[in-house]
Structure 1
């Protein structure tokens, strides 16, 4: 699908290797949230982290988007302080595989977390009344959540899944928002192509005409979130370019 974001329009962002987050943690709807950007902004982004939870690389991404878009950005702690233990990744033993599978069945359950997102967004709308439009983005596992809640009855004006996990082309058919599927070289090529095909033929003209599928072929799964390798110049540049592209898409659709 042709990239409708002109590269020259992409906001330029700065990336730091050793980063100190600019936001603060606040509680809404019984969930801890990382909150950054202006609380009086007219547009906002709900960001869904990957299974590793709050990491400096993910928080820096939120701060980047808040500044680039002059927006409020909120990351809810859906795992309530118990994300997947990064030291157990990859699940390369029988014990680790069992722990990994149990985490996906319980804490990462898609249905439960979709319901939580709907509760949280209701509370955020009540709290931040200046916001006129909300977008939602998600990384890996969070990308699936962001996609699933961007259908009929949702509040979001735009959505994005970044190096998505559990990519299902049929999810594209239920979208009602402009959507950015931003894959790495590690996502299943057939699923990415079919997802793009379903967007191109979507019955909703807004989804069909304003959505993007892009593959960052020199980056790995996780390059924009917890697994980002910012101490490597090549991957740091890929991280920067990735956020510029996501910011450009959101700017166009918020």
Structure 2
């Protein structure tokens, strides 16, 4: 069984405005478009997978906030300029194609490896992954092949598509931050905690927030939302400072 909250497919993104402080670039080797921000001298690099709505203003803002925490954050354009719309999510053939092809780790792996290579080239020695919604599945895939991807720990915020196997195959600690809409992950998290590196894993539920509250569905103009967004991102930054040796 994989875990997909119905809110993932039934809740529209919020309308928002934000001016990013980083840079949008194209990788000369892979041709991949990416956004990058944060401390250029940092030894800690983060690969961030946004939610299904792609480069939404909230995604830029989250990347910028983590960048201001002393991390070097790269956001590959995993959706290749074609984010999904709410209407498309309700079309079975489109959703099936996303879930079984273009949204899988196998499809996105080359972009993940290209992003890690960019961070390595800039001097990052330790790599972590952040995934929102479907991106949680992606960064867990990277964590399962730590030796190849270099991803040593992953933060999963309001995740979708996760299976028990993702937790069993993880090769590093995880931070699991849930909204009120995700199912119970106690059994899965127990597997993560039982791993030799499980002492650094953490789980917390934000019981007043909806699926996607840190991403495109989050109303960043609402103080009740942004208070929990700030808390979640502070936890994420602390997690990486703890699990990625500088």
TM over 0.5: yes
Calculate the TM-score normalised by the size of structure 2. 0.84
1:229 pairs, out of 219, 232, 237, with 219
Q: Measure the CA separation in 2 of the matches of 1:19 and 1:214.
A: 28
1:7: which partner in 2?
Answer: none
Q: Measure the CA separation in 2 of the matches of 1:42 and 1:99.
A: 39
1:105: which partner in 2?
Answer: 100
Query: Are 2:179 and 1:184 aligned?
Result: yes
TM superposition shift of 1:34: 0.5
TM superposition shift of 1:18: 4.3
TM superposition shift of 1:19: 2.4
1:6: which partner in 2?
Answer: none
TM superposition shift of 1:119: 3.8
TM superposition shift of 1:110: 3.2
Q: Measure the CA separation in 1 of the matches of 2:144 and 2:99.
A: 23
1:241: which partner in 2?
Answer: 231
1:167 pairs, out of 162, 166, 172, with 162
Count the aligned residue pairs: 225
Q: Measure the CA separation in 2 of the matches of 1:177 and 1:49.
A: 21
2:18: which partner in 1?
Answer: 19
- Structure 2 unaligned segments of length 5 or more: list them: 1-15
Give per-residue Cα distances to partners, 1:106-149, cap 9 Å, x unaligned.
32133211343124323442x31x21211111100011100111
Give per-residue Cα distances to partners, 1:179-221, cap 9 Å, x unaligned.
11111111111xx11111111222xx22x21111221111111
Give per-residue Cα distances to partners, 1:40-99, cap 9 Å, x unaligned.
32211110111111011111001000111x12110000111011124x2762xxxx3443
2:9: which partner in 1?
Answer: none
Q: Measure the CA separation in 2 of the matches of 1:215 and 1:36.
A: 28
- Structure 1 unaligned segments of length 5 or more: list them: 1-16
Calculate the TM-score normalised by the size of structure 1. 0.82
Q: Measure the CA separation in 1 of the matches of 2:143 and 2:100.
A: 22
Q: Measure the CA separation in 2 of the matches of 1:140 and 1:182.
A: 11
